[in-house]
Chain A
Amino acid sequence: MFVLSRSAAQGVGGGVWLEDGATCIGSLIYKNQATDGFGVAGGNGVLLNSTLSQNSRLAVEVHYPQPGDIFCSNGDIVDRETYKTRATKDAIGIVFWLNGDPEVKYPKGAVISLDGQKKCSWGTIGVSDCWLMQGMVDLGIAHPYRKDTACYRNTSILEEFWDMYGDDFEAGHHCWNYKAYFQTHNPNDKTKNIRWVLPTLKYLSNLMAVLPKVIPSLEVVGQTTSGLSVDDFVCAEDQEREAFYWSSCDGGSADTWECVWVVNFYNGECLNDFRSNRDMQHWARPIFLY
């Protein structure tokens, strides 16, 4: 018999946890995993005539995605160094956001396109009719910023407006219909049906925060993927006005009803004012969530 050591930690005793006074007799405890106390742990319990075998520290996956990792056409997410040695150069995007809850099922992360960046208007015709476009969350000045995470809903609404009004609603339409190269060339079942969308303000601002990790990956991929211009992504200092990126979030305020939320990738500012009127020409860049 031996007395078990006490531990207040969590994730202890993969097979059995014995409280003070509890008993385990004549048992076989094997191939269990835990952070500590792999097979049996607990308080002053009694363990008699039992066998413990092949219990181990909880296995950790070799690679967890990080911002800047490369999303491939078969669903693999690999870091830059791994991608350089990857036999098939089949990147379709770069991971730029990961859910702060590692156990969540969806969305686990967000991916920015390798190319498909386009300067276009957000929408013009019928703006008075579509103020606070149906179904979109009101992100007006009096409301908390970046509350809307519904990239897909917003972009689908924009696509409906495209159907009604044509090419004045180009930003949403462009992203909704974007396909990465490997979605149309040698498509893989796991990614061929991915729908790209115009990001909401939340994701656009998150992208800004991790640009130093995303851009080196774009450069790595750019060595093997044609049609990518990293220079377009971050503008030069004297081109501040050229650095606005459309979100899919309507301005939604009575004072700024003709405006849309944008992020200035020159300084990270999020705004909806006279600089982001719907009919202006700003950048649209597709993302998808997985």
Chain B
Amino acid sequence: MFVIIMMGLGLLGQAQTLYVVPGGNGDGSSWTNAMGRIGDALAKAGDEVRVAVGTYLLDAELFIPAGKTLSGGWIADAGVKVENPSAQTILQVTGQFRVATVAGIIEGVTVQGGVVHAANGGGLYVRATGVVRNCIVRNNVAAEYSPKVGDAWCGDGKFLRKEEINTANGKQVEGIVFWINPDPAAPSGQRGWVVNVDPPDYYGGWTYSEYSGNVTEKRYKTLLEALADTAGYEHTQRAKEKGTEDDYPAVFSCTDGWYLPALGQLRTLIAEWERVEATYQVVRNAGGGGYFPFLLDKASPYWSSSEAEEGKIWLNVVEPAGLGGVQAVDWFEEGGILSVKSF
């Protein structure tokens, strides 16, 4: 009876192993009855998945749970594990995903071709309990997130896709992306522009100063010149240096690094307004935002920081039915503010 009990305990304690070979279609119970897909084997009960030498093209990221081992480098015919570098078990990814997340053990495999965006660990992401042993990890990529027009900007440098905005993070949203520099190597400060979700509650003249000179030290006399102007930050700085809040209230209403956009920036913002406003609706539903205009509902003129001829500023009138027109108007006329920031 003692012997029988010991045999029973031995069976209970024996590790259950599953087997995978290229092209296999069995149930994984042995090398001769091996499975063909590593992911299927990992999903089944068992302590270890032994994978024969060969190349396995993955169609989804693998997950190796804690307590489970994925072991490569096995010669199926002989049932032995080899350390010969030319005899590799290759886990190949050609899509835009990681090869594996490892909470258990991965050993003796080659991991290649994994790609992640807005995440870390292109080939392997190893959790606290995970172990990588005797593996080759090559030709994998981890890329940071590429922000898009319509993404929310949280001020700490993080971007949220519209679908990611919720009541937990909605109040952190400070701006919405309305332009992305097509050059992904552009330095910080030139990568894109965001519009403030809580712009200044201002409607009035660009200036009330008697000064009639060139405030921003630049002039854009034709529409084409003004459309090419994207130096809103510099214009805002110049104006603030030239006078006080009483002199240039439109410019001074932009604070905390936000600035009055140049006409080229304002026009770009309005051209992308539909995507911007769609995101703002989500931000507002999530409890964020502030004094943000709904340009689709009412006609409004908005100031740029681009000066035209003496005493005139380029202004874009936005109408419910369309984009409205651009005009160089007297700077004592009235307009609203859409403050922006570069990132």
Binding site for B on A (CB under 8 A): 7, 9-35, 37, 39, 41-42, 45, 58, 60-61, 64-66, 98, 100-103, 141, 144-147, 201, 205-206, 208-213, 215, 234, 261, 263-264, 266-272
List residues of B (130-171) whose CB comes within 8 Å of A's CBs: 130-146, 148-150
**A19 with B127: CB separation less than 8 A:** yes
Min CB distance A82 to B, Å, is: 15
**A45 with B126: CB separation less than 8 A:** yes
Decide if B240 is an interface residue (CB 8 Å cutoff).
no
A-B contact sample (17 more), CB < 8 A, given A58-B142, A206-B271: A10-B119, A16-B121, A17-B120, A17-B126, A27-B137, A30-B137, A42-B120, A100-B149, A100-B150, A100-B177, A100-B180, A100-B272, A102-B148, A234-B224, A270-B322, A271-B321, A272-B321
A-B contact count (CB 8 A): 224
**A32 with B275: CB separation less than 8 A:** no
On chain A, the residues within 8 Å of B149 by CB distance are 100-101
The chain A residue with its CB closest to the CB of B224 is A212
Known: A15-B140, A65-B182. A25 touches B134 (CB 8 A): yes
**B133 with A25: CB separation less than 8 A:** yes
List residues of B (179-193) whose CB comes within 8 Å of A's CBs: 179-180, 182-185
**A269 with B224: CB separation less than 8 A:** no
The chain A residue with its CB closest to the CB of B124 is A16
**A27 with B132: CB separation less than 8 A:** yes
Can you give 14 A-B contacts (C-beta < 8 A)?
Answer: A11-B119, A11-B145, A14-B122, A16-B121, A16-B125, A23-B130, A26-B134, A27-B132, A27-B137, A28-B135, A34-B141, A45-B126, A205-B271, A270-B321
Decide if B286 is an interface residue (CB 8 Å cutoff).
no
Known: A12-B142, A211-B227. A64 touches B182 (CB 8 A): yes
Decide if B296 is an interface residue (CB 8 Å cutoff).
yes
Binding site for A on B (CB under 8 A): 102, 111, 116-146, 148-150, 177, 179-180, 182-185, 223-225, 227-228, 264, 267-268, 271-272, 274-275, 296, 316, 320-327
On chain B, the residues within 8 Å of A15 by CB distance are 111, 121-124, 137-138, 140
The chain A residue with its CB closest to the CB of B322 is A270
Q: Which 9 A-B pairs have the closest CB atoms?
A: A100-B149, A17-B121, A11-B144, A270-B322, A269-B325, A212-B228, A21-B128, A22-B126, A34-B142
**B322 with A269: CB separation less than 8 A:** yes
Cα–Cα distance between A35 and B145 once the two chains are bound (Å): 10
Min CB distance A144 to B, Å, is: 5
On chain A, the residues within 8 Å of B129 by CB distance are 21-22
On chain A, the residues within 8 Å of B320 by CB distance are 141, 145
On chain B, the residues within 8 Å of A212 by CB distance are 224-225, 227-228, 264
Cα–Cα distance between A146 and B321 once the two chains are bound (Å): 9
Min CB distance A45 to B, Å, is: 7
Min CB distance B27 to A, Å, is: 31
**A31 with B139: CB separation less than 8 A:** yes
**A28 with B137: CB separation less than 8 A:** yes
Known: A22-B126, A100-B179. A29 touches B138 (CB 8 A): yes
